Amino acid sequence: MRFEQAITFLYSDDAEASWQFYEEVLELPLAQDQGTCRIYEAAPGGRAFLGVCRARAPRATDNPRAVGGVVFTFATREVEAWHARLAAAGIEVPPAVEYSDHYRVTHFFFRDPAGYQLEVQRFDRPDWAGPDWAVPDWAVPGWAVPEG
């Protein structure tokens, strides 16, 4: 038995600004408008969704790595193109994308209007369980899938 879909909910004091960001800047398709909450398709195929709702109370922390914190990651082959697109739209992004030797990913972080940390990431490793765009092992220097 497995779950068929996943929805991550984010809460905003200014939901209208967040909805505009997800609809106009990221251009996520609106799957459902529930009035105080809008659910967007975060990836094609109807398996991953992002709900953006009007907050009922202030956020407990701005630290995404603390208990209760959130980092929402969009996985794509086109990390560099997304970086350029967001920068052109006036979104504060780092000067360049980064490569993490530890995780073997190319990525960058930015924040939405409600202050949530978002990440755009490409898995540069052959063992990613995602779509068939994972990098083949022969393309990653020194990489070997661990045995066992």
pTM exceeds 0.85 for this model: no
Report whether pLDDT(34) > 80.
yes
Is residue 18 within 8 Å of 114, Cβ to Cβ? Answer: yes
Give the pLDDT confidence of 92-101 residue by residue, as tens digits: 999 999 999 9
Report whether pLDDT(130) > 70.
no
Chain centroid, CA 32 distance in Å: 19
Arithmetic mean of pLDDT, 41-50: 92
Q: With residue 109 as reference, give the H or E element that holds it.
A: strand 105-111
Which tokens is 44 given? 């094609």
- Which of 15, 30, 8, 37 shows the shortest CA–CA distance to 118? 8
Q: With residue 43 as reference, give the H or E element that holds it.
A: strand 37-43
Predicted local distance difference test score (pLDDT) of residue 132: 58
